[in-house]
Structure 1
Amino acid sequence: MNAAEQSHIIRALKADFFSTMNALTKKQLESTIQYLSDMYYNEGANLISDEEFDRLRETLLRKFGHSKVAEEVGAEPKGDKVKLPFYLGSMDKIKPDRNNLDAWLRKYKGSVCISEKLDGMSALVIKKGGKRTLYSRGNGTIGQDLSRMLEHIHIGDLDLETYAVRGELIISKENYAKVAEGRRGARQMVTGIANQKGVSKEMALIDFVAYEVIVPEGLKPVDQFKLLSKSSFLVASHAAFEAINMEILGELLTKRKRESKYEIDGIIVAHDAVYPRKHTNPEHAFAFKMAFAEQEAITEVLEVQWNVSKDGYLKPTLRFEPVNIGGSIIQFATGFNAAWIEKNGMGPGAYVEIIRSGDVIPHVKSVKSPSPSGPQMPPVKWQWNKTHVDAVLEDVEENPDMQKSVLLHFADKFGIAFCGEGTIIRLYAAGIKTIPDLLRLNKEAILKVEGFKEASAAKLAAAITEAKAKATRVEYAVGSGIFGRGVGVKKIEQAFKHVPSNLEASAQIVDNIAKTPGWSKEAAIAFVEHLPLFKKFMEHLGVAASPSPIKVVVANENKRMAKEVILFTGFHPKELEEAAKAQGATIADTFTSKVTILVVKDENVDNEKTKKAAAKGIPKFTGAQFLKILNE
Structure 2
Amino acid sequence: MSLSKGLIQNIIQQKVLLDGLSNDDLAEFCQLANITYRDGSPIVSDQDYDFIYLAELKRRLPHHSLLQTIEPEGQSFSEEKVLLPEVMLSTDKAYSWDEILKWIERIEKSCLEVGLNINDIQIKATPKLDGFAGYDDGLHLYTRGDGKKGSDITRVFNRGLQTFNDCKRGQGAGEIVVKKSYFEQYLSDSFEHPRNFQASLIKEKALDEKAQKSINDKAALFVPFSQLPSWVGSINELKSNFSQIVGNILTMVDFDVDGVVFELTHQVLKRHMGANRKFHRWQIAFKENKDKAQVKVLGITPQVGRTGKITPVAELEPTQLSGATIVRATGHHYGLVIEQGLGAGSVVELTRSGLVIPKIIKVLKSVETSIPSCCPSCKADLVWQSDFLMCINHSECPAQIVARMGYFFKILANNDGFGIATIEKLYEHGIRKISKIYQLSEYDFTQMGFGDKTSENLLNQLRRSCSEEIEDWRFLAAFGIARMGMGNCENLLKYCLIKDIFELDMLQIANIDGFAVLSAELIVDGLKSVRDEFDLLSSYKFNLELTPLNQNNLDFTHSLVGKKIVFTGKMQGSRDDMKKHAKSIGIQVVSSVTGKTDYLIIGDNVGQKKIESAEKFNVEVIKERDYINMIG
Structure ID, larger Rg: 1
The alignment's TM-score, normalised by the length of structure 1, stands at 0.43
TM-score after normalising by structure 2: 0.43
Higher relative contact order (CA 8 A, sep 6+): 2
